[in-house]
């Protein structure tokens, strides 16, 4: 196998400028020549003005990236010798991995990469996807031979959208390469921008697996808490009070019940399920955890309906305010939000649903989900129920009393996030 020779001068292309790619491009652009590439020309135009609609990178940080340029034109990738792919890896309606964005990005790399180039994947995938699904595409398009003419690495993204206390530089980065020399090269690149340091995995497959189990472990743990929440609801016990008591033990893992959406925890386990099934084994715990978490929207709807009936409220035609639509608080990301499932279940019972989210982009929500949402909390109302679906600062800062002011007599306040004390709400998960 020919020895890998690191490029003398780095020119890096980051392909995909979403929640993961943009912070990475901004960090790299402070240290070395970097091209931020995205097929969405509107996104590129916006970033050129110094604005990031995701809220992950502010204008000052973009301004410090003096070596960063943005483009939606593949010609801008000419001369790049390191390509970092950070595109989404969603699932389809049947929960099967949808590698279309990843394959498309690999084709883009194939058209631009030259001999001696390195492609590094950051997108979350099942073990083997980089070398079995992506690299063959790069080979086919480029006409180059893997590990002879070009090389590869994998460094899983670990960004937590909306988390300002753990930016990219403060999260340890797992790295890997297709040869030991490439692994060292990839590790050195990330060490330039990661203050928390790096961890060099023994292979690309190990690095891929490490990422997929991070979110799978969390999904399984949350599923246990969600199942306990269902159990305790039948026993007439508040789950969060139980968790508060249990968490006084030093080794108890404190998690909260709720909807599990987003582009990571609610998606990644399906990639591992897919690969495990293809290998001849169906992992029961992972599969069951997904079923439990995917079912929490329906369970929450049923609990609300039962409480409303107990309050003497009519279900059909009931006016319900759903506060929050994104998949997590203080973040504009609505990808794979499970609030839409909750809304659909309530509408099945003939309820009139009004949705407000102070962070989400209303036009994007309408385009993706076909529903209209408001952007400001109402100052007054006569709702049969108010649901705290996402604990945005603007939703909870007025306290439970403010939300109760929006209810009619005997109206129900469902606090799905346990944002308030148990005595201040009518129902918590």
* Catalytic annotation, residues: 264
Closest CA to 229 of 219, 239, 215: 239
Q: Which among 267, 307, 352, 326 is positioned nearest to 96, based on CA atoms?
A: 267
Question: 322: which strand partners?
Answer: 355, 387
Give the count of alpha carbons within 13 A of 309, CB side only: 8
Dump the DSSP string for 353-370. Answer: EEEE-SSS-HHHHHHHHS
Identify whether the C-beta of residue 316 lies closer than 8 Å to the C-beta of residue 347: no
Phi then psi dihedrals of residue 395, to 5 deg: -80, -40
- For 262, residues 6+ apart whose C-beta sits below 8 A from its C-beta are 161, 327, 328, 333, 335, 336, 337
Judging by DSSP bridges, how do beta strands 151-154 and 118-121 pair with one another?
Answer: parallel
End-to-end, the C-alpha distance of the chain in Å comes to: 57
DSSP code per residue over 278-291: HTT---HHHHHHHH
- Pairwise CA distance, residues 363 & 356, whole Å: 13
Q: Which residues contact 237 (CB under 8 A, 6 or more apart)?
A: none
- Give the CA angle between residues 366, 411, 231 to the nearest 5°: 85
150 strand-pairing partners: 146
- 386-to-170, 267, 353, 403, 415 alpha-carbon distances in Å: 38, 28, 10, 7, 8
> Which residue's structure tokens are 């743990």?
221
Query: Strand, helix or coil at 330?
Result: coil
* Whole-angstrom distance, CA of residue 388 vs CA of residue 414: 6
Long-range contacts of 369-373 (CB under 8 A, 24+ apart): 369/334, 369/340, 371/340, 371/343, 373/325
Report the length, in residues, of the chain. 429
| DSSP line for 300-322 | HHHHHHHHHHHTT--STT-EEEE
């Amino acid at each position: 196998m020919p020895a890998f020779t690191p490029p003398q001068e780095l020119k890096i292309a980051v392909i995909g400028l979403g929640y993961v790619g943009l912070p990475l491009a901004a960090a790299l652009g402070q240290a070395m020549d970097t091209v931020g590439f995205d097929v969405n020309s509107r996104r590129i135009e916006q970033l050129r003005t110094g604005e990031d609609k995701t809220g992950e990178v502010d204008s000052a940080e973009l301004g410090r990236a003096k070596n960063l340029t943005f483009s939606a034109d593949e010609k801008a990738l000419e001369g790049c010798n390191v390509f970092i792919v950070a595109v989404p890896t969603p699932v389809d309606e049947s929960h099967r991995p949808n590698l279309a964005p990843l394959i498309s990005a690999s084709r883009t790399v194939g058209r631009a990469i030259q001999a001696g180039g390195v492609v590094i994947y950051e997108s979350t995938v099942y073990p083997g996807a980089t070398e079995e699904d992506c690299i063959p595409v790069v080979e086919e398009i480029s006409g180059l031979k893997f590990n002879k003419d070009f090389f590869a690495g994998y460094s899983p993204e670990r960004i937590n959208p909306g988390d300002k206390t753990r930016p990219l530089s403060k999260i340890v980065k797992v790295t890997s390469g297709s040869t030991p020399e490439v692994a060292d090269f990839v590790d050195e690149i990330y060490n330039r921008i990661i203050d928390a340091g790096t961890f060099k995995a023994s292979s690309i497959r190990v690095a891929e697996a490490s990422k997929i189990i991070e979110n799978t472990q969390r999904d399984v743990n949350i599923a246990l808490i969600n199942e306990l929440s269902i159990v305790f609801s039948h026993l007439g016990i508040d789950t969060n009070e139980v968790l508060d008591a249990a968490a006084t033990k030093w080794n108890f893992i404190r998690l909260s019940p709720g909807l599990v959406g987003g582009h990571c925890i609610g998606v990644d386990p399906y990639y591992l399920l897919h690969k495990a099934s293809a290998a001849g084994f169906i992992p029961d715990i992972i599969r069951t955890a997904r079923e439990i978490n995917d079912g929490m929207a329906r369970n929450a709807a049923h609990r609300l309906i039962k409480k409303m009936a107990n309050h003497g409220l009519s279900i059909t035609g009931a006016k319900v305010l759903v506060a929050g639509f994104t998949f997590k608080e203080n973040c504009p990301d609505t990808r794979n939000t499970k609030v839409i499932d909750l809304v659909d279940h309530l509408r099945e019972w003939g309820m009139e649903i009004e949705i407000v989210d102070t962070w989400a982009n209303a036009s994007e929500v309408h385009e993706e989900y076909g529903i209209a949402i408001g952007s400001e909390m109402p100052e007054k109302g006569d709702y049969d129920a108010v649901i705290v679906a996402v604990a945005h600062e603007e939703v909870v800062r007025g306290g439970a009393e403010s939300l109760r002011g929006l209810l009619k007599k005997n109206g129900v306040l469902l606090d799905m996030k346990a944002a308030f004390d148990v005595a201040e709400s009518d129902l918590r998960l």
